[in-house]
Amino acid sequence: MPDFSFFPSFPLPYNALVVFGLLLIVGYAAGELFSGLLRLPRITGYLLAGIALGEHGFALLRGDLFRMTDLFLNIALGMIIFQLGQRFSLRWLRRNPWIVVTSLLESGCAFAGVYFALTRLGIAEPPALIAAAIAMSSSPLIASVVARDLHAEGQVTERTLCLVVLNSVLAFLTVAFMLSFLRSDGTLEKIYFRPLYILLGSVLVGLGLGFVAAVLGRLLKPRESGSVILLTSLIVIGIGTVDSLRLSALITLLVFGVMIKNYVHEFRLATFDTGAFGRLFVVVLFVASGAMLPLQWQPQWALPVLAFVVVRLAVKTAAVTALARPSGISLKKGALLGMMLMPLSITEFALVRETAQSHPEIGGELGAIVFPAIVLMELIGPITSQWALRLAHEAHEPVREAA
């Protein structure tokens, strides 16, 4: 009798590579559908595809695949943050310091407004403080990708990309300070040491990456494709380094990007935002992000979640609108700039999880408020950002040919 043992057993086992390919196809198709037929942001399609493929849908993204996509996620995040650093103009900030003042005001108002609203609703002070610190930030990832997809240029676009960088750094350091405060016994050294370690250590690693890039640039004199390879390598090294040292990849890669733009001329033309290479990482980033979104909803927390979302958007918009004219834009563009600051990033989940691990007594309450708020703003934020750029007449979308 013939031996058929070489045939595979059925049903076929779960194969992460097959599902990863499916992830790319479904994510890309959803993005094109949303963009082409609905004129909505591609990343909304990517996120919804991730939700459909994740644990709340077909549960295809799990185990080995999450470990496989983790590398893509880190590299994609690193590239986008590095690119924001490349667009961060120190000369512009020196010429127009009102941008920095605007960032401090809108971040501070978001912190104060959300903290006041949550404590008035009966939320305990520790989770209210951490939630308020997270509310200071906006999503650099969504702002950057939406602007790129619309080929947006102008005052609202450039100010948005600058403000999301500044308020994300401020939020990260504020959360670190709050966690140090909660862990300490009240001594100033214990409160300030951790935030200072994160800030100074992350800046030093970023400067070190810039120095290595300068040396490599002078030795190898790479063309554009070679520059992308070298910079990608340094970004990966930077991500691994800050992970080992428990520093901030956000601050490190922003500093690295600023160094490349302002001081390392051999790499200034290198870009990750065009072509299939950049789109591949963006698709993986947002589909995986959608799969990781926690969609559990607890009705008893609906009012605090709504307060977090509404108060944060209202005070940020009011703050940037109030300083619109001093910073050189109209009141209308100031209001649209406030809309651009609505999205929160899924990277904030890490801050909530860190708090839950170190302070389980406040992690549950904090997650019940912040997780649903992030989901809402992650899904709605790209759409409001797209509307804002169109209303500001800064979107330069390619004309679609009639069928």
Distance separating alpha carbons of residues 50 and 61, to the nearest angstrom: 8
Quick check: 239 pLDDT over 90? Answer: yes
Domain boundaries, the chain: 16-391
Quick check: 222 pLDDT over 80? Answer: no
Question: Quick one: average pLDDT of 52-58?
Answer: 82
Residue 352: per-residue pLDDT: 81
Distance separating alpha carbons of residues 219 and 353, to the nearest angstrom: 43
Query: In the numeric block, which tokens belong to residue 71?
Result: 């590398």
Question: Quick one: average pLDDT of 167-195?
Answer: 79
Read off the pTM.
Answer: 0.88
| Residue 7 CB coordination number (10 Å) | 7
Mean pLDDT of the chain: 85
Angle at 281 (CA atoms; ends 279, 287), nearest 5 degrees: 100
Distance separating alpha carbons of residues 386 and 304, to the nearest angstrom: 27
Quick check: 274 pLDDT over 70? Answer: no
**Residue closest to 135 by CA, chosen among 100, 109, 166, 105:** 109
Residue 348: per-residue pLDDT: 78
Question: Quick one: average pLDDT of 264-273?
Answer: 63
Residue 402: per-residue pLDDT: 42
Distance separating alpha carbons of residues 344 and 393, to the nearest angstrom: 24
Among the residue ranges 27-41, 85-99, 233-247, the one predicted with the least confidence is: 85-99
Distance separating alpha carbons of residues 40 and 365, to the nearest angstrom: 33
pLDDT, tens digit, 9 for 90 and up, residues 335-394:
999 999 999 877 777 778 777 777 787 888 898 999 899 889 988 999 999 999 999 999
Quick check: 36 pLDDT over 60? Answer: yes
Distance of CA 91 to the CA centre of its chain: 24
List the alpha helices (DSSP H) in 37-63. 42-53
The CATH class of 16-391 is mainly alpha
Most confident by average pLDDT, 13-27, 64-78, 80-94, 243-257: 243-257
Quick check: 8 pLDDT over 80? Answer: no
Check: CB of residue 206 under 8 Å from CB of residue 249: no
Residue 403: per-residue pLDDT: 37
Question: Quick one: average pLDDT of 5-29?
Answer: 79
Q: Which residue has the higher pLDDT, 197 or 5?
A: 197
pLDDT, tens digit, 9 for 90 and up, residues 73-116:
778 888 888 888 887 778 888 889 999 999 999 999 999 999 99
Residue 362: per-residue pLDDT: 84
Residue 313: per-residue pLDDT: 95
